[in-house]
Each structure stands twice: as C-alpha cells, then as structure tokens.
Structure 1
C-alpha cells in the first residue's frame, strides 16, 4: 500500500533535508514540497498566502497522481490546522493509500536558531520562503508557529513526534524511517 508521508514541523527544523534523504534511498518516491510548487506560480512572493492556497490544491492533485502509480509520496510541509491536512488525508484515502504524519520538532529556542541559521542559504526557494517569514517577524513568527504546533498536536493522535534538537540529520532520518516501520537504507 502506498503512503503519503507528511513531514510536519516549523521552518528550518529539517523537513526538506529528511524528505530528500528518504527519496534518495527509496526509488520511486516523490518528494512533493508545497514550497517548491508555490514558487512555480508567477508573482508568488507578492501574493504568497493566496498563491499558497493554489499550490496546496496542485500538491494534493500531484500526490494523488503519484500515489495511484503505487509509489509513496513524502511531503515536507508545515501544517498547524487540521483543515490544512484534511485534503491530503482525503487524497490518500481516495487512492487506497495510507496517510502518515510525522512531526519533526525541537525546543522553541533550537527551532528559532535553526531558522535564523538558514539566512545564509543560497537555495532560492528556501530564501524566498524565509523572506516571507522574516517580513512577518522572523524568529518571532517561528515561535508563534511552534506554539500553534503545540496546540495542533493533541488534535492529531496518530501523529508521531520525532525530536530533532541537537541531533544529526542521519539520526533524525533513522527515527523517521523507524516510525514508518521501514528498514533504514544506506547512509
């Protein structure tokens, strides 16, 4: 049964890094990052939140198309409201796939440090998304997201929490794979 693996967590926590590691070690898996999809839409920097809604619809459609081929989808995407994940749960169900949510987390101070540490990134998509967050308060926004995730988690009893604070990406990756019940493949 294919799976839609949702890696949730605050900006800078390592979702994209873990998603890429998973895809690199699992042939056929689609790394479907809504942040990358939103950047395909012209003018996204000026109308981020409106454009993001369209990108979520596109992401859900892409996830469904790929799940129907029988392969997994890994989706590194922040979600702080149940309404944000329901469309993806529905797509997975429609495709006969399993929806798995894993929350990557760390103490609020660590999450803020990681986000602030990305300021020097050369990746245009990450920089563009981070610019939107910095315009809305930067680390204060990450603190708010952290609080929203804390309130969100009790609503998601099947969500698996994987701590990332002070850990190497390989250790976090191994915990994610273990949470999925899959063997850890190559390092």
Structure 2
C-alpha cells in the first residue's frame, strides 16, 4: 500500500532536508515540497501566501496521482490547521494510501527551535526563506514560532497516529535515523 508521509514541524526544523534525503534514498518516492512548488507561480515572491493558496490544489492533485500510481509521497509541510491537515489525509484515503504523520520537534524545546529558525537559510540556497521570515515577523515573530510549537504539540496530543521525531540541530543523520526507526 502506498503511503503519504507527512513531515510536519515548525519552520526551519529540517522537514525539507529530510524529505529530499528520504526521496533520494527511496527510488520512486516523490518529495512534494509545497514551498518549492509555490516558486513556480509568477509573482510568488511578491505574495508568498497567495502563491501558496494557488499551488495547494495542484500539490494535492500531484500527490493523489502519485499515490494512485502505487508510489509513496513525502510531504514536508507545517500544517497546524486540522481542516487543512484533513485535506491531505483525505487525498491519501481517496488514493487508497496510508497517511503517516511524523512531527519534527527540536529535542531542546521551543526556544531552541526559534533559534534554529533564525539560522535557517544561511547554509542553503532556498529562495523562500526571506518571505517566510517576513511572514513570521508580521505575525508576531518569536511568539508566533512558539505558538506554532504549542499548536504542533496539541496536534500530536489530538491525533493518536502522529508520532514525534526528535530533531537535533547539527545532526541531521541522527534525525533521519530516528525518522526511519519511527516508520
């Protein structure tokens, strides 16, 4: 049975990095990174949120098609809204696939995750980091990041299938191994 592996977690925790590695090491797996897809929408850097809203249905269709073909998909995307999470879970169900939830959280707590966010993008060329920084700043900065962490913890408490994978900064290999063990 194919599966949709949802890697949830706060910004900068390593979701995209782990998704790329997982896909690289598992032939046929699609890494469906919505942040990458949104950069394909004209004007994405001027209106990051609108580009995300425009690309979300496309991502859902891509995911469903790949799952229906019998192949796994890994989705590195922070989703804290239960209704939005349900849209992705429904796609997996319609495609006859399992929905597997893993939530990456910094093992040293929310303040460590906030610090990681501020270091995010200094070692990778991803073009959307500045937009995400601006969105977080406009929504309340570090307090918003801490709210995300609390919301993700609450999500784990409310969803028995969601499993926390401890993420350790500076040791992506250990985090990846923990992810694999959790599966």
TM normalised by structure 1 equals: 0.88
Alpha-carbon deviation of 1:57? 1.3
Alpha-carbon deviation of 1:30? 0.5
* Aligned equivalents of 1:101, 1:143: Cα separation in 2: 21
**CA 1:174/1:119 → structure 2, altered by over 3 Å: closer, same or farther?**
closer
Which consecutive unaligned segments of at least 5 residues does structure 1 have? Answer: 181-187
Q: For the Cα contact (< 8 Å) 1:28–1:71, is it kept in 2?
A: yes
Counting only pairs closer than 5 Å after superposition, residues 77-116 of structure 1 correspond to structure 2 as 77-106=77-106, 107-116=109-118
* Aligned equivalents of 1:40, 1:166: Cα separation in 2: 29
Alpha-carbon deviation of 1:41? 1.4
SS in 1 for 2:35: helix
Structure 2 equivalent of residue 31 of structure 1: 31
Tell whether 2:175 aligns with 1:175.
no
Q: Which deviations, in whole Å up to 9, do the C-alpha atoms of 1:125-177 show, x marking residues without a partner?
A: 33433343334344332122112212222221110111113561111111111
TM normalised by structure 2 equals: 0.90
* Aligned equivalents of 1:3, 1:129: Cα separation in 2: 28
Which is worse superposed, 115-124 or 154-163? Answer: 115-124
Structure 1 equivalent of residue 119 of structure 2: 117
* Aligned equivalents of 1:50, 1:133: Cα separation in 2: 16
Structure 2 equivalent of residue 20 of structure 1: 20
Which consecutive unaligned segments of at least 5 residues does structure 2 have? Answer: none
* Aligned equivalents of 1:116, 1:48: Cα separation in 2: 19
**CA 1:159/1:171 → structure 2, altered by over 3 Å: closer, same or farther?**
same
Structure 1 equivalent of residue 5 of structure 2: 5
Tell whether 2:144 aligns with 1:141.
yes
- The number of aligned residues is 180
Tell whether 2:150 aligns with 1:150.
no
